[in-house]
Structure 1
Amino acid sequence: MAAPAAALPDAVTLGPAPAWALLIVSALLVGLSKTALPGVTTIAVAMLAQVLPAKESTGVMLLLLLAGDLPAIWAYRRDADATMLKRLVPAVAFGVLIGALFLRVTSDALMRRVIGWALIILIVITLAQRGRGRRQGDPTPRATSAGVSPGDGTGSASRAGSSPIARMVHGALAGFSTMVANAGGPVTSLYFLACRYPVKAFLGTTAWFFFLVNLTKLPFSIALGIIHADALALVAVLIPAVLVGALAGRPLADRMPQRVFDPIVMALTVVAALPLVV
C-alpha cells in the first residue's frame, strides 16, 4: 500500500510516485466508468482511499465524479430514459437525506457493511430473476421494445424493473449508499440491469442519474466538511485523467455487444460489493 498523503496541498507537490500512480489510475477509472463500465467506480474509490485520508478521499472522489459526469451526459445526451429519471427522484432524495443523517450518528464501517450485504441480496435476487426468465423463454422484452430507443430518451423501462416498489427500494438504497460511501453505482447498475436497458440507454440513464445525484450530494458534503478548498488543487490536477478515461470509454461502449456488457456489469457489481462486507 502506498504511503498516505499527509495533507491535500502537500499531496499535490510532494506525494510519492506510487501514490501518484494510484491517484492517476483511479481518475482514469472514474472517467471510464462514466462512459463504458459503471462498476469500476467502486474500484477507483478503493484506490483513492489508499493514498488519502478517508474523509478527504470521499470529497475528492465526489468532485472527480462530477467532472466525469459532464462528458458522459454529453456523450449520451440522446440515450437517457428521462421518464425513469423523474420517477426515481423521490426515492433517491429520501435515501440521500437518510444517508446524510446517518453520517452524523453511525460509524462508516457499519454503514459500509449494511450497504454491502444489501448489494449481495440484490445480486442474488437479480440473478434469480434472470435465471427464471431464461427458463421461461425470456418473455420480457428489452427496454428498446418498451419505448427506449437511441435518440429519444423518453421511453420507459421493461416491466421487470419498473414497479413502484422496485423503484423505491433501489432508488432509496442508491441515494443512501452514494451519500455514505460513494457506493451508489452497484445498486443502480443492478436496477438498470433489471430494467433490461440496451448498452447506450443503460449508460445514458446512468450518466444523467449520477450527475443529478452528485449535484444533490454536493451541498450536503460541503456542509459536513467532506469537501473543502484544499481538495480543489488535487482535483484540478487529476481532471485531465478523468477526461482521458471518459473519451476512451465511449468507443469501447460502441463496440461492446449486449451479451458481453451485461455479465461484465454484474461481475463488477459483485467485485464492488465484497469489500464492503469484510
Structure 2
Amino acid sequence: MDTLTLWQLAALAAASALVGFSKTAVSGANTISLAVFAAVLPARESTGVLLPVLIAGDVLAVLTYRRHAHWPTLLRLFPAVAVGVVAGTLFMMWAGDAAVRTSIGAILVFMAGVTLWRRRTAAGSGEPSADAGPPAAAERFKARSYGVLGGFTTMVANAGGPVMSLYLLSAGFRKLGFLGTSAWFFLIVNTSKVPFSVGLGLIDAQSLLLDACMLLFVLPGAWIGRKCVDRINQTLFERLVIGATVLGGLQLLLN
C-alpha cells in the first residue's frame, strides 16, 4: 500500500464507495469499480483486494433488503453457480490478465445483448414473474446457464453482478425483489469464494490492510444508494442496470 500514490488511493476510495452504492441502488454498477481496481492494481491481484470490499457491501445490502429476497430463485441458482466457481478457479490457475479481461468483457457485452433481445421479443407476451410457480424446462435451462456464467465471472473477476442482474431482470423481478435476492445471493457466493481466493494467493496480509482502509468508504456509498433507490422508477432502474453492464464489459474489453 505504501507504493500507491495519493491519486491512486483516491480512485480506490471512490470505487469502494461505488461498490456500496451499487449494492443498495443499481446492481451491476460495481463493474466500474472492478475496472478501477484493475487499473490501479495488477488485474489478477485486484480481484483479491476487491472481494472483502464487495462482501462488506453485501452485508449492508442484506441488512437493508433482507426481507425482499426470493429464496426459490436462489436455491435454483446455487448448484449451477458452484460449478461456475470451480471452473473459474481452474481458469485462474493459468489465465493471465489479458485473458481474464477479454473473457469477462465479452461475456458481459454478449449477455447484455441477449437480455435486450429477449425483452424486445417478449414485449407482447410478457416474462413470467418470480412468483409464477415452478419453472418450465426453458426457465431451468436459463437459470443453469446464467448460474454457471455468474459463478465463473464472479470467481475470475468479481464480475458476476451484471450476469446475475441480467438474469433477475429477465425473470421479471421488480426493484426491491431484485435488490433483496441479489443481496443474499452475493453475500453467500462472495463469502464462499474466500477460501479459493486465499488458496490462489489473491488474499493476503497486505491486501487485507488495504481493504481495512477501503471499507471506510463503502458505508457512505451504501447510504447514498439507499436514499436514491426510492427516487428511481422501475424503467430507469432496468436501463441503469443494463447500461452499467454494457459499460463495464466494454471497459474490460478496451483495457
Please list every run of 5 or more consecutive structure 2 residues that lacks an aligned counterpart in the other structure: none
- Shift of the alpha carbon at 1:84? 0.7
1:92 aligns with 81
- Does residue 1:178 correspond to 2:154, yes or no? yes
- Does residue 1:189 correspond to 2:165, yes or no? yes
2:205 aligns with 229
- Shift of the alpha carbon at 1:107? 2.6
- Shift of the alpha carbon at 1:40? 1.5
1:150 aligns with none
Q: Distance in 2 between matches of 1:86 and 1:102?
A: 25
- Shift of the alpha carbon at 1:173? 0.5
Q: Distance in 1 between matches of 2:55 and 2:178?
A: 18
Q: Distance in 1 between matches of 2:138 and 2:20?
A: 28
Alignment deviations for residues 131-159 of structure 1 (CA, whole Å, 9 cap, x no partner): 1222x2x433544xx36xxxxxxxx69x6
Q: 1:28 aligns with which of 17, 29, 32?
A: 17
Q: 2:111 aligns with which of 111, 114, 122?
A: 122
The sequence identity of aligned pairs, in percent, is 44
What SS class does the counterpart of residue 165 from structure 1 fall into? helix
- Does residue 1:215 correspond to 2:204, yes or no? no
Equivalence map 1:8-87=2 (5 Å) = 8=1, 10-11=2-3, 15-87=4-76
- Shift of the alpha carbon at 1:28? 0.4
**Number of equivalences:** 254
Alignment deviations for residues 149-181 of structure 1 (CA, whole Å, 9 cap, x no partner): xxxxxxx69x69981110111000111011111
2:218 aligns with 242
Amino acid at match of 2:127: T
- Does residue 1:257 correspond to 2:225, yes or no? no
What SS class does the counterpart of residue 47 from structure 1 fall into? helix
Q: 2:100 aligns with which of 100, 103, 111?
A: 111
Q: 1:139 aligns with which of 93, 105, 126?
A: 126
Q: Distance in 1 between matches of 2:107 and 2:47?
A: 21
Alignment deviations for residues 66-104 of structure 1 (CA, whole Å, 9 cap, x no partner): 111111101011001111111111100000001101111
Greater RCO, 1 or 2 (C-alpha within 8 Å, sep 6+): 2
Q: Distance in 2 between matches of 1:241 and 1:106?
A: 31
Deviates further, 85-94 or 15-24: 15-24
Deviates further, 204-213 or 219-228: 204-213
- Normalised by the length of structure 1, the TM-score is 0.85
Contact 1:30–1:40 (CA<8 Å) still a contact in 2? Answer: yes
Amino acid at match of 1:61: L
Change (3 A) 1:55 1:276: closer
Amino acid at match of 2:230: D
